[in-house]
Amino acid sequence: MLGQATVQADFTLVELAEDAGVSIPTNCSSGTCGTCMVTLVSGDVPLPEVLPPGLDEDVVEDGARLGCIGCPKGDVDIDVRPPL
């Protein structure tokens, strides 16, 4: 599913995806559960200094980001993962 949204400061991937007509599953909206995990294909979605419970080093190395807390810095391409 392809969608496009204009990046706005402090908007999360989930919010931007919704604007683009793409649904990213969510549950906790705080980075705890991992339901909204996506794969960052290109672009920059900075990680928090301390990884939240929904992420670990192994999946981050594979490009995982959490849509509910991840705020892109410019254009990004993501793949939506099936919910955990």
* Distance of alpha carbon 33 from the chain centroid: 13
Question: What percentage of the chain exceeds 90 in pLDDT?
Answer: 75
From the CB of residue 69, how many other CB atoms can be counted at a distance below 10 Å?
Answer: 21
Residue 66's pLDDT is: 96
Q: DSSP 3-state assignment of 19?
A: helix
What pLDDT band is residue 6 in, cutting at 50, 70 and 90? confident
- Is it the case that residue 8 has pLDDT exceeding 90? no
Query: Are 14 and 43 in contact, with CB atoms under 8 Å apart?
Result: no
Domains of the chain: 13-80 (3.10.20.30)
**Could you give the CA distance from residue 14 to residue 28 in angstroms, rounded to a whole number?**
12
pTM: 0.87
Closest CA to 7 of 55, 77, 64, 60: 77
Tell me: the pLDDT tens digits for 50-76? 999 989 999 999 999 999 999 999 999
